């Protein structure tokens, strides 16, 4: 009789273990990533890569703008210092400027020492 009771208890434990395994599998499937979530994550990673590329381009453009501004300042100093008597000489030295920078006059910003 003692052995029959032990077998009965073993069956109950086995039954509860099976139910718990089913519940665990269901919870794991609910927590698992869905196809939509995986697709959104993939798009997000692509956009992060694109953002990084655009930031690099922006930094390069900012550096180029700063370089152009410093070169313009040098040319303006030569022009307005009186050292260069003929402004046509400066046009040759400004040939490296982009056409948009040659067309637009340099206006000092409010509060700047220029």
Q: Are 96 and 67 in contact (CB under 8 A)?
A: no
Cα separation, 91 vs 82, in Å, equals 16
Half-sphere exposure of 18 (CA within 13 A, CB side): 6
Three-state DSSP state, 96: coil
pTM value is 0.47
Two tokens at 76? 């303006």
Helix ranges, 32-114 (H): 35-81, 87-93, 99-103
| Reported confidence tier of residue 76, pLDDT bands at 50, 70, 90 | confident
8-17, 24-33, 68-77: least confidently modelled range: 24-33
């Amino acid at each position: 009789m003692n052995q029959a009771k032990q077998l009965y208890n073993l069956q109950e434990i086995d039954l509860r273990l099976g139910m718990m395994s089913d519940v665990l599998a269901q919870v794991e499937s609910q927590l698992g990533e869905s196809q939509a979530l995986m697709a959104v994550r993939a798009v997000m990673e692509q956009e992060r890569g694109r953002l990084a590329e655009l930031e690099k381009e922006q930094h390069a453009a900012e550096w180029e703008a700063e370089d152009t501004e410093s070169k313009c300042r040098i040319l303006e100093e030569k022009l307005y210092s009186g050292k260069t008597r003929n402004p046509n000489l400066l046009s040759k030295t400004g040939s490296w400027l982009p056409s948009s920078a040659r067309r637009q006059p340099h206006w000092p910003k409010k509060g700047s020492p220029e």
